Structure 1
Amino acid sequence: MSPARTDHDARRRDVSEAVWQVLAEHGFAGLTLRAVAAAMGASTGLVTHYFAGKRELIAHALDILEVRTQQRPRLKAPAIGLPTLRTHMLNILPLTSEGAAMNRIWVGSWDVALSDPALFTAQATRYERIRAGLCAAIEDAQRLGELPARADAQRLATTALSFTHGLVVQALFAPERFPAEHQIELVDGFLVTLRRSAG
């Protein structure tokens, strides 16, 4: 690899770290080319070498957020079926300070994604993937007899994700009322209700 290519890759990593720093401190509302340049101690011109405008910057920020979300420490499911569904739901919630920070950024991304068709599509696809993961766990639970086989797995997955995201919003706005242990209790209660309603 040529030195020039190595320098370019290193600089792009520096830009990505600066984008993440701005996101973590100011959210999408504060994400601008100038803010990223300031975080790097560089000129705005250097940042525009990587991003033609605000939309490209936001798209890159969403990519970084997705990668960071996947790489953060996660709970491991002890078994397939309902334990996996429970673990998926818990891994979405703001149970730690890092999880809360990540969720604040995700919630902040909704506004920009809703206002841009391409970003909207990317976010919609992401939520389809999450629902698919929940649905797979539910189908395993049905095969194991933990949930009735006649229940609509996709509908249950949508219900589970709706509950989880609603809990995320409440926990972010009232963290003192929704500490980690209470969020976990609510998820366990939801799963009990899910089994009853699905039956």
Structure 2
Amino acid sequence: MPRQVDHHNRRELIERAVLDIATECGFAAVTIRAVADHIGASTSAVTHYVGGREELLRNAVRREIDKRRQEGVQAMQGLDDRAALRALIEWAVLGPDARTHQLWLALVLGAATDPALRAELDRFNEWWSAQLRDRVARVCPDDPVGAADVLDVFVDGLILTGFDAGQPWPMERRARLLQTVWRALGL
């Protein structure tokens, strides 16, 4: 009798393997063979669910990005523009754990050479920019472009700078720096 496979769980297992490998070794290390080895299956067990490496990457990254976007939306839900802006930035720099920061760094680095990753990162960045710029325009009407740019560079820089030491900065340090930025912007 053939073994019953839960296809939904198998897809999730494959996508988690992609993200695990990318977090540890970068997206260049993500291959169908590496994913199969990671989940203890054959390559055909992986290719049953994806047509190739590009689809493998796109599915896993899209799911992760959609999850992150949903978290961002939930963080801002029901808040006025000023509070929603603060919640969005705090979600980005204080919310993620070290693994999530590592994955995002791998995604940014991988997007430089991989079109599938670039497309998914661009899709996230469009959403991010719309969320940030819409709220900034309502709470910083004197210089919304400048304020949005400062916050954008702050978020990107804080995430990337944390890796100079091999791990994100401690939460307290990130929170202190964020308070400095809020004061500088008058928020």
Give me the TM-score of the superposition, normalised by structure 2.
Answer: 0.79
Residue pair 2:21, 2:29 contacting (<8 A) in 1 also: yes
Could you tell me how far 1:29 is from its partner in structure 2?
3.7
Q: Which runs of 5+ in 1 are unaligned?
A: 142-146
Deviation at 1:166, TM superposition (A): 0.3
Aligned partner of 2:125 in structure 1 is: 127
Q: 1:113 and 2:105 equivalent?
A: no
Runs of 4+ in structure 1 over 6 Å off: none
- The code of the aligned residue for 2:142 comes to R
For residues 134 and 34 of structure 2, the distance between their equivalents in structure 1, rounded to whole angstroms, comes to 41
Quote the sequence identity (%): 27
Alignment counterpart, residue 174 of structure 1, candidates 157, 162, 165? 165
Query: 1:52 maps to what in 2?
Result: 51
SS at match of 2:142: coil
Q: Determine if the alignment matches structure 1 residue 194 to structure 2 residue 185.
A: yes
AA of the residue aligned to 1:13: E
Alignment TM-score, normalising by the size of structure 1: 0.75
Contact 1:69–1:102 (CA under 8 A) maintained in structure 2: no
Q: What SS does the corresponding residue of 1:50 show, helix, strand or coil?
A: coil
Whether contact under 8 Å (1:100, 1:172) holds in the other structure is: no
Residue 41 of structure 2 is matched in structure 1 by: 42
Deviation at 1:42, TM superposition (A): 0.8
Residues 169 and 10 (structure 1 numbering): CA distance in 2 closer, same or farther, change over 3 Å? closer
SS of 1:115's equivalent in the other structure is coil
Q: Is the 8 A contact 1:81 1:139 kept in 2?
A: no
- Between the aligned partners of 1:53 and 1:117, the Cα distance in structure 2 is 14
TM alignment of 1:80-159, pairs within 5 A = 80-93=80-93, 95=94, 99-141=97-139, 147=140, 149-151=141-143, 153-159=144-150
Residue ranges of structure 2 left out of the alignment (5+ in a row): none
**Deviation (angstroms), 1:66:** 0.9
Q: Secondary structure at the match of 1:121?
A: helix
